[in-house]
Amino acid sequence: MQREISQRSLRKVEVGVDAADRRGLAGRTQGSGFVAMGLDGDTLLLPQQDIESIESSLGLEPVGDDAPLAGYLLFADARWPVVCVGGDLEPLSPVPPNRRICLLLRTEDRGFGVLCDSIRLLDARAPRTQGLPACMAVHASPLGGLAVHDGKVVGVTSAGVLGVFLEQWRARGG
């Protein structure tokens, strides 16, 4: 029997991600492993503990031009909503042909997938994260912090922060 991961994960409107949420992200991810997710040549780091699974996008059931929702992926007897975003974290539609990897992310109350170009599991010497500087701490930012990875400053987020950002984008009507 299939269960469907609730569409509330993409439709539920929540209060924005505030500074306390971002500070919590920087502290929570400190010392945990990260996954480097490649999106259009940009890199975004996510805590490994937020990753439920890494799957191929070949089984994606497309839904048309309903950005940010690209479709659904069957995993563990459930249909997971899957989004496609660019390097700027703005939703993309249609799905670019190079998006072959799907990271299935889980928070306490939702699960969703993100299509990406590449992923890399980072070793135990994970980058040290820092909170966002005040000039970057925008109310609805999907970033919770910054880190240096491969000689570049990259954004750090979490499944929870990214999920709220995508819900807010969809609630605004794109």
- Which residue has better confidence, 2 or 131? 131
pLDDT at 17 over 60: no
Supply the range of the domain harboring residue 59.
3-171
Enter the pTM of the model: 0.76
Cα–Cα distance for residue pair 163/142, rounded to 1 Å: 9
Cα–Cα distance for residue pair 67/30, rounded to 1 Å: 32
pLDDT at 118 (0 to 100): 94
Cα–Cα distance for residue pair 53/36, rounded to 1 Å: 14
pLDDT at 132 over 50: yes
The count of structural domains within the chain is: 1
pLDDT in tens, 91-128: 888 888 889 999 999 988 889 999 999 999 887 666 88
Q: 109 and 101 in contact (C-beta within 8 Å)? A: no
pLDDT at 30 (0 to 100): 47
CA-nearest of 127, 112, 134 to 43 is 127
- 49: CB partners within 8 A, 6+ apart: 32, 33
Instruction: Please report, as a single letter, which amino acid is at residue 84.
Output: C
Residue 33 is part of a domain; what is its CATH number?
2.40.50.180
